[in-house]
Amino acid sequence: MSGFAWAAFAQNLAAAAGAALLVMLVTFLVALRKGVHRIVDVAWGLGFAAVALVSYAMSAGEGDGTLRLLVTVLTVVWGLRLAVHIGRRGRGHGEDPRYEAMLAKAPGSPALYALRKVYLLQGALVWLVSLPVQAGQYLSGPAGAWAWAGTAVWAVGLVFEAVGDAQLDRFKRNPENKGRIMDRGLWSWTRHPNYFGDFCVWWGLFLVVCADPVVAATTLVSPVVMSLLLTMGSGKALLERHMAGRQGYAEYRARTSGFVPRPPRRS
């Protein structure tokens, strides 16, 4: 594959940064009005969807039509599903304990501290992680084995994420499960089916651009950063520190994979 439109892609990088920034700034203003910063988690998925749509518009007449539509649809479907799920999950709740603890220690204005450490940081991460989505709009095509392999990996990820979230939601809504550890369904195969799903989604989107080795090398940082966030940053590592003291969690951890799904070990 050749003929990648590097000049147009450079302009897209600026437009995508503007889209991510706009989503986060609007969310920041809404959060100030509501008095809770947890809604920034909703903006995470919306930011990716916005970047994909802006990139699709910017790339008109540049890349292969099938690839442009493919990466846009995959990203928007993932982003909107995540945003809707997080929005429903947080409805009626107060501030997220993570943000509450962070802002309690903020030097100076908590609002400005949240703007720098949460909103602008997440906006920058949206821009960085979405590089394959942006680059995919400018591939000359045609859509081949790499694109369909990436779509398959993306689909596995979306299933793990959506089914895992639905199973956990049903578990929590049952009063009989209060105080218990969720260890059923996909949660018996991995302690983090939703994070594993995210992992597959972003490696799948990266695979789409692997038909062009130079573009793949340029955007490899994106799935690597997302993988580190999911396993060592604000995902798995942070949640497991929070869960460590829960009754039954040590036993659950001993028999269940920490990330990549596998059958549970015998007790």
What residue segments make up the domains of the chain, in order of their start? 6-255
**Per-residue model confidence (pLDDT) at position 266:** 75
Average pLDDT across the chain, whole number: 93
Can you give the pTM of this predicted structure?
0.94
pLDDT digits (tens, 9 = 90+) for 107-147: 889 999 999 999 999 999 999 999 999 999 999 988 899 99
| Cβ-based neighbours of 207, under 8 Å, separated by 6 or more | 146, 147, 149, 150, 153
pLDDT digits (tens, 9 = 90+) for 141-154: 888 999 999 999 99
**Per-residue model confidence (pLDDT) at position 2:** 58
pLDDT band at 24 (very low <50, low <70, confident <90, very high): very high
**Which tokens belong to 90?**
């947080």
**Which tokens belong to 164?**
């895992």
Cβ atoms within 10 Å, residue 124:
14
Burial of 94 (0-12, 13-18, 19+ CB in 10 A): exposed
pLDDT digits (tens, 9 = 90+) for 38-53: 999 999 999 999 999 9
Q: CA dist 89 to 68, 172, 173, Å?
A: 32, 11, 11
Asked whether residue 1 carries a pLDDT value surpassing 60, the answer given is: no
**Per-residue model confidence (pLDDT) at position 267:** 61
pLDDT digits (tens, 9 = 90+) for 59-108: 999 999 999 999 999 999 999 999 999 999 988 788 888 888 888 888 88
Percentage of residues in the chain having pLDDT higher than 70 = 99
Cα-flanking dihedrals φ and ψ of residue 220, to 5°? -60, -30
pLDDT digits (tens, 9 = 90+) for 205-245: 999 999 999 999 999 999 999 999 999 888 788 888 888 88
Asked whether residue 187 carries a pLDDT value surpassing 90, the answer given is: yes
